[in-house]
Amino acid sequence: MENSDADFVSKNIKFDKNGFASFDIYKNKVFFESFKLSIAGMHNVLNATACIALCHQYGIPNEAIKEAFLSFTGANRRLEYKGSFNDISVFDDYAHHPTEIKATADSINRKVFNESWVVFQPHTYSRLKNLLDDFADSLLGFDHIILADVYAAREKNVFGISSKDLADKLNSLGKPVQYISSFEEIVKFLKKNVKPNDIILTLGAGTVTDIGPMLLK
């Protein structure tokens, strides 16, 4: 990766159609072993590299590490595959901060598909207010954007902001966006517009996770 002077470095990184990486690890600039993951995204290559270094320190055999990587298919609500309908894949992710969203977009875009449709539900008014520009920038990595109402969690809207403000910001950046407050209407819109071989991603730490099961009914 970027720091070639580190003790453990991942090189020759390749992604399959699911966005799963295979890569070589070099220890002190000497080939160490090849590994393959069953989860998507470049950030998980970084996580795996750190894991390999730690396991090696504790004397865990490479074959055991390989088997563990292949068997680990991800944590709940981290680019979690929910199912498919009409050859359309549905995923769900808990990301609710711009940095997380960019990592999720990177993971999605390493898969093989036609177009991506993200349904994003901002989490708390204060976070949206403070990071509005960053949220807009992080969502540009998706082909189509649908915004649901803010998930208030513990807050009241004393910040004078809504998902409409994020939609306006995205539009100002030249990115078309749909703002739809009702989950039922979001489901109807998706079923009408999404095509086979597309990907749908529900994104956020709130109730947006309910949309996947609604789509798959």
Options 3.90.190.20, 3.40.50.1370, 3.30.9.30, 2.60.40.10; CATH for 80-216 is 3.90.190.20
Residue 34 has pLDDT above 80, yes or no: yes
| Tens digit of each residue's pLDDT (9 = 90 or more) over 101-134 | 999 999 999 999 999 999 999 999 999 999 999 9
Say how far apart CA 153 and CA 125 lie, in whole Å. 9
Longest dimension (CA), the chain: 57
pLDDT of the residue at 126: 97
Q: State the average pLDDT over residues 27-37.
A: 97
3-state secondary structure of 169: helix
Side-chain half-sphere of 147: how many Cα atoms within 13 Å? Answer: 24
Q: State the average pLDDT over residues 179-203.
A: 98
Residue 3 has pLDDT above 80, yes or no: no
Say how far apart CA 66 and CA 61 lie, in whole Å. 9
Give residue limits of the domains in the chain.
8-71, 80-216
